[in-house]
Amino acid sequence: MTSHIMPTYGRLDVTFTKGEGAWLWDQDNKRYLDALSGIAVCSLGHAHPAVHKALCAQSQQLVHTSNLYHIPGQEKLATKLCELSGMDNVFFSNSGAEANEAAIKIARLFGHEKNHTNPTIIVMQQSFHGRTMATLSATGNPKVQAGFEPLLNGFVHVPFNDIAAIESVLKQHDNIVAILVEPVQGEGGVNIPAPDYLNKIRALCDQHDILMMLDEVQTGIGRTGAWFAFQHNHIIPDVCTLAKALGNGMPIGACMAKGKASKLLTAGKHGSTYGGSPLACSVALAVLNTIEEQQLCQQASDKGNAIAQAFSTRLKNNPHIVNIRNKGMMIGIELDLPCAELVSLALDAGLLINVTGDTSIRLLPPLIISYEQIDLLVDILSSLIDGYTT
Ligand SMILES: *Cc1c(COP(=O)(O)O)cnc(C)c1O
């Protein structure tokens, strides 16, 4: 049968029909352990009762009214996000790319206020910020950009985790207005920078009066073991973007801002028809409350470390393991050989994983995964890795 879907994804040959927690079932009722959470989205797992309840209750009252009117749920969600993060205000979008678009627009407004005619943002190699024209221009991956030239001006790429490279760009250019960076690079392969990397970026931004903008679309909402990854560094950025886990599958993104950055997007400067709808905000609020009640940030830290430790123990005699690294529940297992094939081998074995950058297995399990399920994950995947590498 010919498909009428544009072939933008090379899909695995499986169709899921239902889920519960960390489990998914396919058409033939085969069960899979989900160690990817729909790419860091379903942190509460599938069919979570709090999400279900919020969806049902809100959709019985109002799904959408538009931002021409007050939306109490949006106010509530913004207040909660600011309480949790220390940020001042929020613009709601429907996705991560759109949240980053808002951040990029804030940086440009900030630059024009300082009379820069060509405001420029420092971004990182191997970064990922989305698929819109501005966000793919910011993205540090030629594969994402190829064929879409001309790219947007106003971005300089430097190596990730390299403070000297940022300093050098700041010396050479007098039109830098912001630094945009992921606290841990996700799509780039679970790249964890030096522990003080964000602190040093914060100091440079203060020194040069430019905006520190964090793309926490993947790292945010508990994934790394704190509500926001910047909280590990005891700093606050000027701009921070969110999406993925915020709605647990209900599309919603957010661009949070603080201080001078929070005053730039005024009436008429930005907008979104759907952004911050009553339905999306009600679900996101239920997600935040659940993560808080069940202390899932702490659990992300404990379980992420337990998973990395268990793999280290199980795979200690496998000479093909380059390293096993994690920041909370962002877990990378790097091999010394290409291992994309492991994705379909794992699927056959009833396990969902991902491979990035050819040689890194990436795991993003739901934060609600049980320790029994963790044992199963480590068992299945370690055996597959050992079988694959020998
Ligand atoms: C997934 C992701 C995005 C893009 O989010 P979309 O919702 O797909 O637009 C942006 N930045 C990071 C760090 C991401 O992981």
On the question of pLDDT at 26 being above 90, the answer is yes
For the domain spanning 16-48+295-389, the CATH number is 3.90.1150.10
Domain 50-293 indexed as CATH 3.40.640.10: yes
Structure confidence at residue 297 as a pLDDT band (50, 70, 90): very high
**Number of the ligand 1 atom closest to the C-alpha atom of 97:** 9
Ligand 1, from 242, 244, 274, 356: best to mutate by most atoms within 8 Å of Cβ? 244
**CB-CB contact of 278 with 58 (8 Å):** yes
Spatial CB neighbours of 65, under 8 Å, sequence gap ≥ 6: 71, 277, 278
Alpha-helix runs per DSSP H in 3-95: 37-40, 49-61, 72-85
CA-to-CA separations, 165 to 111, 159, 185, 186, 278, in angstroms, rounded: 21, 7, 17, 21, 43
Nearest-CA residue for ligand 1 atom 10 is 129
Cα 372 to ligand 1 centre (Å): 30
Cα 8 to ligand 1 centre (Å): 16
Cα 87 to ligand 1 centre (Å): 20
- Please give the Cα distance from 55 to 188 (Å, whole number): 33
Look up residue 85 and give its two tokens: 């993060």
- pLDDT tens across 97-150, in order? 999 999 999 999 999 999 999 999 999 999 999 999 999 999 999 999 999 999
Lookup result for tokens 């299945």: 380
Q: What residue segments make up the domains of the chain, in order of their start? A: 16-48+295-389, 50-293
Cα 193 to ligand 1 centre (Å): 19
Please tell me the predicted confidence (pLDDT) of residue 249.
98
- pLDDT tens across 146-191, in order? 999 999 999 999 999 999 999 999 999 999 999 999 999 999 999 9
**Number of the ligand 1 atom closest to the C-alpha atom of 187:** 15
- Please give the Cα distance from 324 to 12 (Å, whole number): 26
**Number of the ligand 1 atom closest to the C-alpha atom of 243:** 7
On the question of pLDDT at 1 being above 80, the answer is no
- Torsion angle (degrees, nearest 10) of CA 210, 216, 219, 221: 120
Cα 284 to ligand 1 centre (Å): 17
**CB-CB contact of 258 with 221 (8 Å):** no
**CB-CB contact of 385 with 315 (8 Å):** yes
- Please give the Cα distance from 362 to 36 (Å, whole number): 8
Strands 31-34 and 330-335 come out as unpaired
- Torsion angle (degrees, nearest 10) of CA 120, 87, 81, 127: 30
- Please give the Cα distance from 43 to 95 (Å, whole number): 16
Q: What is the mean pLDDT of residues 41-55?
A: 98
Note the pTM of the prediction, 2 decimals. 0.98
- pLDDT tens across 316-367, in order? 999 999 999 999 999 999 999 999 999 999 999 999 999 998 899 999 999 9
Beta strands in 183-283 (DSSP E): 211-215, 239-242, 253-257
Nearest partner of 224 among 242, 204, 207, 199, judged by Cα: 242
Higher pLDDT, 159 or 390: 159
On the question of pLDDT at 385 being above 80, the answer is yes
Across the chain, mean pLDDT equals 97
Please tell me the predicted confidence (pLDDT) of residue 278.
98
**Number of the ligand 1 atom closest to the C-alpha atom of 215:** 13
Ligand 1: residues within 6 Å at CB? 95-97, 100, 128-130, 182, 186-187, 215, 217-218, 243-244
